[in-house]
Structure 1
Amino acid sequence: MSYQQLARDIISGVGGRANIISVMHCATRLRFKLKDLTLAESERLKTHPGIIMVVVSGGQFQVVIGNHVHDVYKEICLQNGSGEDAVPVAKAEKSGNLFNRLIDIISAIFTPFLGVMAGSGILKGLLALCVACGWLTTDSGTYQIWYVASDALFYFFPLVLGYTAGKKFGGSPFLTMAIGGALTHPLMIQAFQSSTQPDAVLVGFLGIPVTFLNYSSSVIPIIFAAWISCWLEKQCGKVLPAVIKNFFTPLICLMITVPLTFLLIGPAATWLSQGLAYGYQAIYLFAPWLAGLVIGGIWQVCVIFGLHWGLVPLMMNNLAVLGHDTLVPLILPAVMGQVGASLGVMLRTRDPQLKVLAGSGATAGVFGITEPAVYGVTLPNRRPFIFGCVGGALGGAVSGLSSASVYSFGLASIFSLAQFIPPAGMDISVWGAALGTLLALLVGCILTLIAGLPTIETATVAGVASSANAAASWLPTAVENDDTLFAPLSGKLLALEKVADTTFASGLLGAGAAIIPHDNYVLAPFHGEVASLFATRHAIGLLSHSGIELLIHVGIDTVKLNGQHFTAHVKPGDTIQPGDLLLEFDRQAIKNAGFDLTTPVIISNSEDYAAVVTLASGELIHPGAPFLGVQRNTKESV
């Protein structure tokens, strides 16, 4: 699939190339840093068929694309000359409040390797499952090779974080990666192990005693060290002559930052890490079920605004300090709650397009990607999203009660259940997490099935029922007289020449009349079939059994909405009978968008008849009332 046009539209929608400071992507969304947020056209981008949602949060302009975001990202980088190698300018780091800047820093540092990190965590979980089931032993070569594959990223975390932090802080990423390498160097690991022995000899740097710590898998120390190094690098760039700057700057940064890290930054950051981990653990142990109830209930709300990034370092820090994390087991029910709600929509809805969208959203959600389900299905319909959050809260409470933990990092997905298995093997905590996950899915699904779509589906059922009753009263007339068309909408009758569009008013497209709708439904006016359906769902073409070609065009210039606020309940080729629901639209939303809702109803092949007459009388008309009639040519009648 070519994403060139989508990339061009996104670049234009964010204010053009000149307005882009930097762009990156996570699992489903593009994350822009813009010079001026007011230049971005959020509403225009939201209506684009290739875009799920637009969110402005954490100082970022986020465009939710879906699972193919990486392909769109590459095309944007190709067209914009930016991407992974684009270094954010210093001004961007100082913009926004402290919280937004923190979220921006965290997402920029952790996003680039999120997929690799999730894959590594899943592999660790699968290995734990294989050991628990007796399929592998920890001393086998197969286990050991797969284990180092799953553990390498986490063991050498300071190198990876050094690279991404260096890019974010505007310095040389290879320089900060070298500092991360120093933290995990074998000599330093050996010094740490020696320092734990009873007869350890105190080691110092220039006479200053050094506290050796194990920095492998650590998170916070290298981030602080990278910030210091990047600041020092900028200062060197200001004072050193150009002829020596390229090699003296790294020399000075390494000579100062690495010892400073071992002497001060590392121990201080490690104590901070331990404080965060033990502080969280104390809160969690006070009321695990309450922690699960809160996290499971609000997690998806945080995801919508991108605020979940603030908890990602805490999860990694828990794994590094405690060896396990209790946050992910509380998050998994929140994910599965939305999966259940999306399944409920899929099972309940009569709209084929929404059914497919809900099914694909639920499938992506099972693997930890909830944006398609949330933005495309549950959030637009409101109640399913709320029911998904309710399911997540209840499931999170159950997981919290079971004291479930995860022993490797990864996205909260169906694979997380394998990561819940402790090194000692299966226990009650694993079954508790599985029960909480299943409960969240079932609650979200069942509540959505019962009362999840009141604003659309209940109204649709009522509309179909009322139209069916109306159809029953005039169906014999429709059968007896194939030259009569019945009103497809309820509303105010308007002569075609009074329509505020010269193409329709002139009769160029055919003769007919117009209706200013009073409700949200377009019903079938005769027996026949669906001849055509516009991709934007604002207009539909019908063909009666007697040969009448009818065009129903909801609103004037509504093609510009690109299908937003319109739902089709039929497809080309479908057989229809009077009273069948064809289209559904959000009348108030279309009016709020500034569009004229006058709906021309045109007989496209008017030239085939002697005359087209309006049968309706009075100012108002209702579905099932005689609306238009055709008079056939005399020769044809005979």
Structure 2
Amino acid sequence: MAELSADAAPADDAPAAPQKPLDRFIDVISGIFQPILGIMAACGMIKGFNTLFVALGVYPDTCGGYLLLNAIGDGLFNFLPMFLGYTAAKKFGMKPMLGLVIGAIMCYPGIQNSTLEAAGEPLYTLFEGTMFASPVYVDFFGIPFVSMDYTATVIPVIFVTYFASKCEKLFSRTVPDLVKFFFVPCLTLLACIPVGLLLIGPVATFASKLIAEAVIAVRDFSPLVAGAIVGLTWQVLVIFGFHWSLVPLGIVNLTTLGHDYILACMIGHSFALGAVLFAMYLKNKDENFRELALPAMISAFFFGVTEPAIYGIALPQKKPFVVACIGSAVGGLIIGLSGAVLFMSGGLGVFNWLSYLPTGPSSTIGATYMIWAIVASLASAVVAFAIEFATYKPEQA
């Protein structure tokens, strides 16, 4: 109604009022994700049911049926930059197919860090002896290429597409009409891809390393505080794709120590989001909202796929996102307080509880850590639900 009133009686200064940076960022992110929320929730649910059927012994995870269903569930998320490149291009006023190509380039197997790392020894290490030490496997005409894995990432492709949209507009104005059809996309790709891979990628990599080092430092100071911080900020890190900075640390811990305490602390984030959406679902009777909220809630709560809930509902409305972060922090605090760790990298949501069972014989631990994980999950859900149900007003959303 506020927008209609503003349109009906425009004030002199109203159209010129600048949008707050946070509001602009949320508007951009929501607009980019909105077109794929339904299919994202569908893929997440298929992946979750596939995990459920394996856990129930319906079929093994080595059979062809599991492989094909997992491909359906993982396909969108693995090639997420392609979808986001397409929708981001539309949001930024660029030809959508050019954005799709940018996403495809960022998913190209040959430039992924995992591929380059497996191919051989690095040429040299950039910033050796610092926390930003980065092995360089290839260079771009003498410029070091700090590689990273771009599949399933969010922010890099959005920034590259935004820069590409500016380049496209510039070249569209300057390139002669006779050759504009193929020269504009050609020049745009030649301008934006090197900048994206040589500048935006390294910035994201260094930011991820800073976050990882900060978490380790806080954990050394206080596991309880570290647990609360990981829980509180996990969903924020997901938005920027920086949560991948903690995943390698968790995998290293699992392979060297046999357990991990960092990823264990994010157990409550999907339960908090699911609970927030459930509270909103109960109070909001709008059918369009409920059709979006129900699959996003199921996907988050049971299968740990939170993107539809974050980008479709929680983040655009801001307060539900903050409430979910608070609920997640409670779960992280409980894990930090209990000292619980996970012993495998398994499923998400309710299936993540099994990761807290020791993989080898352990008479002293047993199911203790899994019980703490369940307690942390339920506490996250209860706190988030209580706050959102008490404060949510559908008419103000």
TM superposition score normalised by structure 2: 0.61
Residue number among 267, 275, 278 corresponding to 1:329 in the alignment = 267
Post-superposition offset of 1:140: 1.0
- The C-alpha deviation readout for 1:89-141, integer Å capped at 9, x for no partner, is xx99xx32333333333333334334433443444444444444544333210
> For structure 1, which runs of at least 5 residues remain unmatched after alignment?
1-8, 20-34, 40-90, 300-307, 347-353, 380-385, 410-414, 453-563, 565-638
Question: More helix by proportion, 1 or 2?
Answer: 2
Q: Please show how residues 566-605 of structure 1 align to structure 2 within 5 Å.
A: none
Residues 252 and 421 of structure 1: CA distance in aligned 2, closer, same or farther (over 3 Å): farther
What letter corresponds to residue 416 of structure 1 in structure 2? G
SS at match of 2:268: helix
Match of 2:73 in 1: 150
Post-superposition offset of 1:253: 0.8
Q: Give yes or no for contact 2:208–2:244 (8 Å, CA) kept in 1.
A: no
Alignment of 1:159 onto 2:82 = yes
Match of 2:242 in 1: 317
> For structure 2, which runs of at least 5 residues remain unmatched after alignment?
124-135, 251-262, 301-308, 360-366
SS at match of 1:260: helix
Q: Give yes or no for contact 1:334–1:391 (8 Å, CA) kept in 2.
A: yes
- Count of matched residue pairs: 335
- The C-alpha deviation readout for 1:276-315, integer Å capped at 9, x for no partner, is 455456546754544665787x89xxxxxxxx9855424x
Q: Give yes or no for contact 1:405–1:429 (8 Å, CA) kept in 2.
A: no
Alignment of 1:140 onto 2:63 = yes
Question: More strand by proportion, 1 or 2?
Answer: 1
Higher relative contact order (CA 8 A, sep 6+): 2
Alignment of 1:103 onto 2:39 = no
Post-superposition offset of 1:236: 1.2
- The C-alpha deviation readout for 1:306-328, integer Å capped at 9, x for no partner, is xx9855424x4324761675675
Post-superposition offset of 1:420: 5.2
Q: Give yes or no for contact 1:107–1:309 (8 Å, CA) kept in 2.
A: no
Alignment of 1:270 onto 2:270 = no
Alignment of 1:433 onto 2:370 = no
Alignment of 1:253 onto 2:184 = no
Q: Give yes or no for contact 2:227–2:336 (8 Å, CA) kept in 1.
A: yes
Q: Give yes or no for contact 2:113–2:147 (8 Å, CA) kept in 1.
A: no
Post-superposition offset of 1:145: 0.7
Residues 254 and 207 of structure 1: CA distance in aligned 2, closer, same or farther (over 3 Å): same
Match of 2:257 in 1: none
Post-superposition offset of 1:181: 0.8
C-alpha root-mean-square deviation of aligned residues, in Å? Answer: 5.4
Give distance in 2, aligned partners of 1:390 and 1:197: 44
What letter corresponds to residue 349 of structure 2 in structure 1? S
Residues 341 and 139 of structure 1: CA distance in aligned 2, closer, same or farther (over 3 Å): closer
Residue number among 333, 347, 353 corresponding to 1:397 in the alignment = 333
Give distance in 2, aligned partners of 1:407 and 1:14: 51
Give distance in 2, aligned partners of 1:252 and 1:271: 28
Match of 1:230 in 2: 165
Percentage identity across paired residues of the two chains: 28
- The C-alpha deviation readout for 1:151-204, integer Å capped at 9, x for no partner, is 112221221221233233332232122122112224445993476424989644
What letter corresponds to residue 268 of structure 2 in structure 1? L
What letter corresponds to residue 170 of structure 1 in structure 2? G
Give distance in 2, aligned partners of 1:445 and 1:223: 32
Give distance in 2, aligned partners of 1:443 and 1:184: 39
Match of 2:350 in 1: 417
Give distance in 2, aligned partners of 1:222 and 1:173: 13
Q: Please show how residues 456-467 of structure 1 align to structure 2 within 5 Å.
A: none
- The C-alpha deviation readout for 1:338-359, integer Å capped at 9, x for no partner, is 689899xx9xxxxxxx9x99xx
SS at match of 1:170: coil
SS at match of 2:267: helix
Decide which structure has the larger Cα Rg and report it: 1
